[in-house]
Structure 1
């Protein structure tokens, strides 16, 4: 249930297109700190929000007072001209740890198609002291009216070759698909239009230790390490994060030695065990598919 239907009227068509000088300076700064630029989506990537009125009866009963009082779900009010909506927001498990650890390797930006008021509230929940989300915040107001449902590198202050994107919606990044890191959508609240069972229906939640954000963080660390792993005669300014992504994927696909397979099988089994512990029945199929030989598991 990505928040696309906020009633606030946005009249701005402001542009924040950075110039080449700004990007060159940004590149020097990133390389000097041995960092890359990480761009995060909000809805269904690192959190989920819904107007309470739009929740199913089941979820209104489930979310109720208990989860709000325990601060597992945040309730807040969105006010505009002539309306007042009450929202609930559920942060994806492990997101604050993810932000803290990722910020040591990346400058972190938010790029969302929600509006600025909503985005500011979400950042207040995610990073109230603004310790980790330390780069750009790009919202609906900044997106060209000609392509209202598209995201692109043209609004980012960094060169494309140092940008990594984590977004559950691949299609909005069509022009920058090679910079995208896959993540499964986070659906905590019940969705009558989907056949997939929500976390509230399972009376559970995604695993913090073995869930999507933990997996993505591991992948981001590998890509960062690959980017800054220089060959003789190379320099950082010749590197491209898209090559690093490709190389990490190539190394993963070639993990055919007994030792590598055994280690990977152990990690996968741990993920499956954790899923069962948290009552997750629909563990991501690609986890299971990564075990390439059965004898290493038995």
Structure 2
């Protein structure tokens, strides 16, 4: 199997100084076995502990000095360099409005990386160079990047004012905020909200962190993002400073990998919304939404009761996170299969993801019966394309090799043929469920309802 990317150029830059420090940090990591003291990573007070291989982006920046120190050293450097050398500087980035290399004051330009440290901006070419260096560092550790959404993916939150009377019992079941490591339901009165962590999330993060460098990327604001990170990662061992909120995004109401320091061919995304990632759908693993609170169901117009109202929850062993962890392990294994330094640039996690998806309905041959409108070209219909992406073969006619007939009416000719020939006759939801849950579903759970007798 080939995971070769048709467009995976390696980037380079002539910048030295601060950018070289970052690259050195990326390549060497923290090789000592000791640990560093905790340090604050934001105004909200989210604390993280350095692990042996933690590559905290803020520490790379602060390693070069504070804004004031840079300004001071830049002033000295300006006296020692000629104007021609300043003009020749490519200005790979700035910190506090000052070029990393030449110390010249710059107008605001480049991409802001405020979640790493306020005031950092990098030129696109420098971002590309750092991503290339970052990729080589990660792959040497047999790691990829995984960007994780929060709401409806890892957890579910609601404001206290939107809780229903049926959910009042939850207040007495909330876990203490003094030690969140063993809890899953939290009453955050200072934020006027309650949060429920998705079952299996702690095991998921622990196992995923062995294969991926983890990011949080949420449409929530920065205080919310950091508070949720405290609940998910109280020791700061999984995310470090890689906590991106809507305050850090470059496009309103959308998410993008432009502020993630990982090359696109090594980044996977886990999110419940495909619309949030219009430019990166090939990197996306779409998650089944977690609707624990009633307000969550109402938000998406569902008329069924939430898990809290049913006093139930997802399964730890068979739930969405446990299922997607298996997908991540399979993709990770395919990416690193036979890899070496010579073919590093040829690998693409998006191609590995497509290969895993094709295994889901492999061996199935599907015929649609009155599901695709007559005016629509069958091969362009979303269900037809979805089935093929899942590895199934689609056909317009029945024959002995057909395994499934997808329909909504048992009275059609093809439906009757399926029942006569003892083929699977399933509702279209069977394909959609396989797509969301990343595994073939039991056909008996997707029957076609018999028409009501008049």
Normalising TM by the smaller chain, what interval?
0.7 to 0.9
Which residue number in structure 2 is paired with residue 269 of structure 1?
Answer: none
Distance of aligned partners of 1:75 and 1:25 in 2 relative to their CA distance in 1, 3 Å threshold: same
Which residue number in structure 2 is paired with residue 277 of structure 1?
Answer: none
Would the aligned equivalents of 2:199 and 2:315 in 1 still touch at CA under 8 Å? yes
Structure with more relative contact order (C-alpha pairs < 8 Å, separation 6 or more): 1
Which residue number in structure 2 is paired with residue 65 of structure 1?
Answer: 172
Which residue number in structure 1 is paired with residue 279 of structure 2?
Answer: 175
Which residue number in structure 2 is paired with residue 153 of structure 1?
Answer: 257
Separation (CA, whole Å) in 1 of partners of 2:325 and 2:347: 21
Shift of 1:234: 6.6
Would the aligned equivalents of 1:67 and 1:73 in 2 still touch at CA under 8 Å? yes
Which residue number in structure 2 is paired with residue 76 of structure 1?
Answer: 188
Q: How does 1:1-298 map to 2 (within 5 A)?
A: 15-16=112-113, 19-59=127-167, 61-68=168-175, 71-78=183-190, 85-134=191-240, 136-144=242-250, 147-191=251-295, 192=298, 193-230=301-338, 235-254=343-362, 285-286=433-434, 290-291=440-441
Gaps of at least 5 residues in structure 2 are 1-110, 114-120, 177-181, 365-429, 445-454
Separation (CA, whole Å) in 1 of partners of 2:263 and 2:339: 22
Would the aligned equivalents of 2:361 and 2:440 in 1 still touch at CA under 8 Å? no
Distance of aligned partners of 1:249 and 1:87 in 2 relative to their CA distance in 1, 3 Å threshold: same
1:50-69 CA deviation, whole Å, 9 max, x = no partner? Answer: 1111212222x231313456
Which residue number in structure 2 is paired with residue 274 of structure 1?
Answer: none
Root-mean-square deviation over aligned CA pairs: 2.8
Separation (CA, whole Å) in 1 of partners of 2:249 and 2:347: 29
Count of aligned residue pairs for this structure pair: 247
Separation (CA, whole Å) in 2 of partners of 1:221 and 1:95: 16
Separation (CA, whole Å) in 2 of partners of 1:103 and 1:232: 22
Distance of aligned partners of 1:23 and 1:253 in 2 relative to their CA distance in 1, 3 Å threshold: same
Higher helix share: 1
Distance of aligned partners of 1:45 and 1:288 in 2 relative to their CA distance in 1, 3 Å threshold: closer
Shift of 1:48: 0.9
Separation (CA, whole Å) in 2 of partners of 1:124 and 1:162: 26
Would the aligned equivalents of 2:327 and 2:438 in 1 still touch at CA under 8 Å? no
TM-score normalised to structure 1 length: 0.75
Shift of 1:210: 0.5
1:247-280 CA deviation, whole Å, 9 max, x = no partner? Answer: 1122333367xxxxxxxxxxxxxxxxxxxxxxxx
Shift of 1:200: 1.2
